[in-house]
Amino acid sequence: MSGARIVDIALTVFFLAVGVFAITDVRDFPFQDQLFPFSAAGLILICVLIYGARQFITGPLEIEQETGANATKPPFTREQIHTVIPLAVAILVLVVGVFIFGHLIAVPAFAFGYILLRGEKLWIAIFGAVLLFAFIWGLLINVMEVLMPRPLIMDWLGL
């Protein structure tokens, strides 16, 4: 089994688990709070099931092993790996930050840091962070009354 095939299977199982978890986790919520998670998870599950069925029906792709000038290339180049790893780490930092500090702090702080790391000017990073803060606090929390999960730091500090 090739490395690309293992990655396909792992991602399929991961997204299937995410979809099932999202649906089971929000089933006790009020109806309006269930709409977005059910819709997103439903789309994820539909795509995963279609992709999984397609892979099951067509089977794995046969890759010929060749040597010399006609040798097949590895699935990912070193440059691609060096591009993807920092992005994956950044997303992991964002997810952990949201659990610890909450959406209202973590998302603007992440945007600020990411914009600076991408080489933009300081004022652009500040503007982006303030805009995200205003969007989350003003529109999502105050206008739409989206319930945000309680940050872990509030429990740790006893607030």
Could you tell me if 11 and 57 lie in one domain? yes
- At 105 the pLDDT is 92
Are the C-beta atoms of 109 and 101 separated by less than 8 Å?
yes
| Contact predicate 12/52, CB 8 Å | yes
Do 137 and 148 form a contact (C-beta atoms < 8 A)? no
Please identify, among 64, 91, 113, the residue that sits at the C-terminal boundary of a domain: 64
Mean pLDDT (10-residue bins), the chain, 159 residues: 68 80 80 78 82 73 54 69 80 87 91 89 94 90 82 84
24 and 86 in a common domain? no
| End position of a domain, from candidates 64, 86, 110 | 64
Does 71 fall in a domain?
no
Evaluated on CA atoms 107, 109, 110, 116, the torsion sign reads: positive
The two most distant CA atoms of the chain are separated, in Å, by 65
Predicted local distance difference test score (pLDDT) of residue 46: 86
Asked if 53 and 94 sit in the same domain, the reply is no
pTM for this entry: 0.54
Asked if residue 94 lies in contact with residue 110, where contact means CB atoms within 8 angstroms, the answer is: yes
Domain shared by 60 and 81, yes or no: no
Same domain, 54 and 123: no
What pLDDT is stored for residue 29 in this prediction? 79
Shared-domain flag, residues 89 and 151: yes
Give the count of domains, the chain: 2
Q: Which of 37, 64, 91 is the last residue before a domain boundary?
A: 64
* Residue 49 identity: L
Nearest one of 39, 43, 153 to 99, comparing CA atoms? 153
For residue 44, what are the domain limits?
A: 1-64
Whether residue 87 sits in one domain with residue 43? no
pLDDT of residue 133: 94
Residue 110 neighbours by CB distance under 10 Å: 20
Contacts of residue 70, defined as CB under 8 A and 6 or more positions apart, other chains included, come to: none
Q: What gap in Å lies between CA 33 and CA 25, rounded to an integer?
A: 12
Say yes or no: 56 and 83 in one domain.
Answer: no
pLDDT number for residue 1: 56
Assess whether 88 and 53 both reside in one domain.
no
